[in-house]
Amino acid sequence: MTQGAQQGIDLTARLLLDKGDGVIVEGPTYIGGLAAFDAYEPTYYEVPIEEDGMDITKLQKALMQHQVKLIYTIPDFQNPTGTVMSVEKRQAMVQLANQYDVVILEDSPYRDLRYTGENLPTIKSFDTEGRVISLGSFSKILAPSLRLGWLTAAPELLAALTALKAAADVESSHLVAVAVDTFMNDNDLDAHIDAMKQVYQTKRDAMLNALERYMPKDVHFNHPDGGFFLWLTLPEGFDMQHFMTAELLPEYNVSLVPSHHLYASKSIENGARLNFTNVSEATIESGIKMLGQALNDALHPAQVNQI
């Protein structure tokens, strides 16, 4: 048991990485993952995300060209894009990890939050050599901010990670663990998750409907089947970070996560992560409407001036 899945990322990095060691991350990826890895000063190799997960061809190329110790992936409703890795890519990733002697860190706290379709097998389920470390978190499926997660790994890796965990904080909160255990003994966790999914799906649909109505035609967004997030793509050359700090926040009081912070390379400026789970449907409607107005003004100033 860990202090959320975040501690699992840190423990894995602490165990495996020395300064300069190679880490493959998705582009874009979880900002907290990058923050955890940054402390150990690795060398990042960024592999783009496609509609069905990490680009396996480019992953193989990176493994062929560089010394890599760790592949970090979020295969289920990825943070920040909401994409899901296909079964074929999960299998291929394990085969490549075996071939190039690399550990995979499978960070999957959103896995149980699928609104449509069927869940896919975990990457860990294809692990044949004990090189996949898998993470989960109760904060996504039981209660927000509940700092209790879990880590599963092969015995040798698990023993080393457990020793590091003991040195870091002795153990996760026993009180919190007992509370979660009591809840699961006395209640139906699956029914609780189903109720959460209904709420989140309604909010996702509200955001997608608002985006359809208010976004300029040259702004694109995806349609995730679950999770917390969807991904916004602006025309090439658009600086979302500058737009948010200079216009969106001060003039419209709307906030999002610009893509600049979600790439290890800091090279992509024209994207953004939107979160639909923590706000009301009314706030989603008004926020997306204002975002659409602000983007239209920024992208098409000539049209605004004509009006």
Which domains are delineated in the chain? 4-184 (3.40.640.10), 191-306 (3.90.1150.10)
- pLDDT, one tens digit per residue, over 189-222 is 999 999 999 999 999 999 999 999 999 999 999 9
- The CA-atom distances, in angstroms, between 200 and each of 59, 152, 173, 193 are 32, 27, 29, 10
| Burial (0-12, 13-18, 19+ Cβ within 10 Å), 212 | exposed
Which pLDDT does position 144 carry in this prediction? 85
Which pLDDT does position 307 carry in this prediction? 46
Q: Taking residues 54-79, what's their average pLDDT?
A: 98
Given a cut of 50, is residue 224 above it in pLDDT?
yes
**Percent of the chain residues topping a pLDDT of 70:** 98
**Whole-number mean pLDDT of the chain?**
96
pLDDT class of 226 with cuts at 50, 70, 90: very high
Q: Taking residues 249-260, what's their average pLDDT?
A: 96
Joined together, the tokens standing for residue 219 give 């702004």
- The CA-atom distances, in angstroms, between 159 and each of 12, 70, 152, 164, 242 are 12, 18, 11, 9, 46
Angle at 174 between CA 168 and CA 176, to 5 degrees: 105
**Percent of the chain residues topping a pLDDT of 90:** 95
Would you say 79 and 27 are in contact if contact means Cβ atoms under 8 Å apart? no
pTM for this structure? 0.96
Which pLDDT does position 303 carry in this prediction? 64
Which pLDDT does position 193 carry in this prediction? 97
Instruction: Please give the Cα distance from 235 to 257 (Å, whole number).
Output: 17
Which pLDDT does position 258 carry in this prediction? 98
- pLDDT, one tens digit per residue, over 109-130 is 999 999 999 999 999 999 999 9
Query: What is the CB-side half-sphere exposure of residue 160 using CA atoms within 13 A?
Result: 11
**Residue with the two structure tokens 């992936």:** 73
Instruction: Please give the Cα distance from 265 to 29 (Å, whole number).
Output: 11
Q: Taking residues 164-180, what's their average pLDDT?
A: 92
Which pLDDT does position 171 carry in this prediction? 87
Which pLDDT does position 306 carry in this prediction? 52
Which pLDDT does position 83 carry in this prediction? 98
Q: Is 142 left (phi over 0), alpha (psi -120 to 50) or beta?
A: alpha
Instruction: Please give the Cα distance from 258 to 137 (Å, whole number).
Output: 25
Amino acid at 20: G
